């Protein structure tokens, strides 16, 4: 049996791993750590929940500990980039735990936080900087830091960065980095543009893989429930009442839809919160902390959270809306069955989402067991050019993006807001005065007093 000591890590890191209860390395850690310690560039293919942070973080920290002196002002020895604020925070927290009791300094910079305070912290330099691409560009343009002394670069969740339109920012950041460096790139899927990023950043990389693309965790019990779009809220209520007190994560496709659903659940007596791109960073952090502490039983989220939540207590994942990008399904349900636990994932499929379901089953390589309703014969997905419902946000699929738009969104993964409607026309493309055919949802109580929580039937 391979141990962390067998991989060549320093005694200081081995003590931290023992204190944290890490005893046996995961497959991706067994493959990646020796290659990184040997100085090779690396391309890693691994799904969420496989231990990627330790796979790249431990060997980098090991090499930094060998330097023996603090970094120079405004310099960064190792740069780790991730697509979302939640994932940046998760990586930084893990690295801080690994380096407890050592002089290694770990900083994080994300959109939605004080740019001035982040610049002040970087003035003293950092051994490891974890950053979202947009905020990193902001700081580089302010000359709050320099990457001239950066010898290590990690691109985590590179495929998600492409989905979120950060490709132009990545090219821009590459110009600030020294040519002589060690680069590691991890991705859960392998779209064609990943090869372009690999060619630009990596030199003769070693390739390692822990799971084939699209493979989901064996401990996740998956299923699909067919239902009309207007019946999804009540269906979700039924599932939540079957498992009172068990942490549930609900994924909605849009920011507006996630917020509306959260308020509806609260009005029905559930302890619920939401995180999405329209929430401030402080609010997102507080909500995640409350969910992690068990103060909230239900968290409604968009795909901004699909790769940034590492909470072992999550037992249920509900795909209230099926994702536009089928690979995101794998990352969504990967929020359960963590740390050796088991979990359940149920997809709610409306008639207009049959094409999304077929795409998901193609990616995962298996049909989802049906636990409710029946497949819709001849149903097809709404064409991308069809008018959206009033207030519906733009889908979160792959899109082209400009550097300025990515920065202005504060590292939000959502695309630009829809353009205004033409005169005499509503935002959903219908003539003014025409009523929507969307089934009405129960109104959220206007009072601030939350009704008593419902008991299981």
Highest average pLDDT, of 44-58, 123-137, 209-223, comes from: 123-137
Q: Which two tokens stand for residue 227?
A: 């239902």
Highest average pLDDT, of 24-28, 234-238, 417-421, comes from: 234-238
CB 410 within 8 A of CB 304: no
The reported pLDDT for the residue numbered 197 is 78
Give the model's confidence band at 337: pLDDT under 50 very low, under 70 low, under 90 confident, else very high: low
> Which whole number is the average pLDDT over 146-171?
88
**Concatenated DSSP letters for 394-455?**
PP-S-----HHHHHHTTS--S-PPPPPPPTTB-TTSSBTTPPP-SPPPPPPPSSSSPPPPPP
Classify 129 as helix, strand or coil. Answer: strand
pLDDT above 50 for 426: no
Average pLDDT, the chain: 81
Task: Give the phi and the psi of residue 306 in degrees, each rounded to 5.
Answer: -65, -25
Alpha helices in 293-377 (DSSP H): 327-333, 354-364
The reported pLDDT for the residue numbered 363 is 86
Q: What whole-number distance in Å separates Cα of residue 343 and Cα of residue 223? A: 12
Model confidence pLDDT, tens digit, residues 245-260: 899 999 999 999 999 9
Longest dimension (CA), the chain: 71
**Concatenated DSSP letters for 138-163?**
HHHHTTS-B-TT--EEEE-SHHHHHH
Q: Please give the order of strands across the beta sheet that includes 76-81.
A: 106-109, 126-131, 76-81, 152-155, 182-187, 42-45, 206-209
The reported pLDDT for the residue numbered 390 is 38
Q: Which two tokens stand for residue 99?
A: 């380096």
The reported pLDDT for the residue numbered 42 is 95
- For the chain, which domains are there? 5-209 (3.40.50.300), 220-372 (3.40.50.300)
User: Per the confidence metrics, is the pTM higher than 0.85?
Assistant: no
Q: Which two tokens stand for residue 174?
A: 């590459």
Q: Which residues pair with 243 in a beta bridge?
A: none
Q: Which two tokens stand for residue 11?
A: 């005694």
> Which whole number is the average pLDDT over 261-269?
97
Q: What whole-number distance in Å separates Cα of residue 164 and Cα of residue 304? A: 10
pLDDT above 50 for 397: no
Give the model's confidence band at 308: pLDDT under 50 very low, under 70 low, under 90 confident, else very high: low
Q: Which two tokens stand for residue 66?
A: 């060998």
Model confidence pLDDT, tens digit, residues 100-123: 989 999 999 999 889 999 999 999
Name which residue leads in pLDDT, 449 or 177: 177
Q: Which two tokens stand for residue 407?
A: 């920065």
By CB neighbour count within 10 A (0-12 exposed, 13-18 middle, 19+ buried), where does 394 fall? middle
* Count of residues in the chain: 457
Q: Which two tokens stand for residue 305?
A: 């959270």
**Concatenated DSSP letters for 369-383?**
PEEES-PPTT--PPP
* Window from 285-289, 315-319, 354-358, 390-394 with minimum mean pLDDT: 390-394
Looking at residue 100, the DSSP 8-state letter turns out to be T
User: Which residue is associated with the tokens 């009704």?
Assistant: 451
pLDDT above 60 for 451: no
* Window from 49-58, 308-317, 331-340 with minimum mean pLDDT: 331-340
């Amino acid at each position: 049996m391979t141990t962390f000591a067998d991989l060549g890590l320093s005694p200081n890191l081995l003590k931290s791993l023992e204190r944290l209860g890490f005893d046996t390395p995961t497959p991706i850690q067994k493959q990646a750590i020796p290659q990184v310690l040997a100085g090779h560039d690396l391309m890693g293919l691994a799904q969420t929940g496989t231990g990627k942070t330790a796979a790249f973080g431990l060997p980098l920290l090991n090499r930094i500990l060998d330097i023996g002196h603090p970094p120079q002002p405004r310099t960064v020895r190792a740069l780790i980039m991730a697509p979302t604020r939640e994932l940046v925070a998760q990586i930084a927290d893990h690295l801080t735990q690994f380096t407890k009791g050592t002089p290694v300094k770990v900083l994080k910079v994300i959109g939605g936080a004080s740019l001035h305070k982040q610049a002040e912290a970087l003035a003293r330099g950092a051994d490891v900087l974890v950053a979202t691409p947009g905020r990193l560009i902001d700081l580089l343009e302010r000359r709050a830091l320099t990457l001239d002394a950066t010898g290590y670069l990690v691109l985590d969740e590179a495929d998600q960065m492409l989905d979120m339109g950060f490709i132009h920012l990545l090219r821009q950041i590459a110009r600030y980095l020294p040519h002589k460096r060690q680069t590691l790139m991890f991705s859960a899927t392998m779209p064609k543009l990943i090869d372009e990023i690999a060619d630009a950043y990596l030199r003769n990389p070693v390739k390692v893989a822990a799971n084939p693309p699209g493979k989901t965790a064996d401990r996740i019990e998956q299923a699909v429930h067919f239902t009309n779009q207007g019946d999804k809220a009540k269906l979700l209520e039924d599932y939540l009442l079957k498992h009172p007190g068990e942490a549930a994560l609900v994924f909605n496709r849009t920011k507006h839809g996630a917020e509306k659903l959260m308020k509806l659940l609260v009005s029905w007596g559930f302890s619920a919160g939401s995180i999405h791109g329209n929430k401030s960073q402080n609010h997102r952090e507080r909500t995640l902390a409350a969910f992690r502490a068990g103060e909230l039983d239900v968290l409604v989220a968009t795909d901004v959270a699909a790769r940034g939540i590492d909470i072992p207590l999550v037992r249920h994942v509900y795909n209230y809306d099926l994702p536009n990008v089928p690979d995101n399904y794998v990352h969504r349900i990967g929020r359960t069955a963590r740390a050796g636990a088991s979990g359940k994932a149920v997809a709610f499929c409306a008639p207009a989402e049959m094409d999304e379901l077929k795409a998901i089953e193609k990616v995962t390589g298996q049909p989802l067991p049906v636990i409710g309703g029946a497949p819709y014969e001849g149903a097809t997905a709404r064409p991308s050019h069809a008018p959206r419902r009033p207030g519906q946000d733009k889908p979160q699929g792959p899109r082209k993006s400009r550097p300025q738009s990515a920065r202005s969104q504060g590292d939000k993964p959502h695309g630009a807001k829809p353009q205004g409607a033409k005169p005499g026309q509503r935002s959903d493309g219908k003539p003014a005065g025409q009523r929507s055919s969307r089934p009405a949802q129960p109104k959220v109580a206007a009072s601030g007093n939350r009704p008593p929580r419902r008991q299981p039937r």
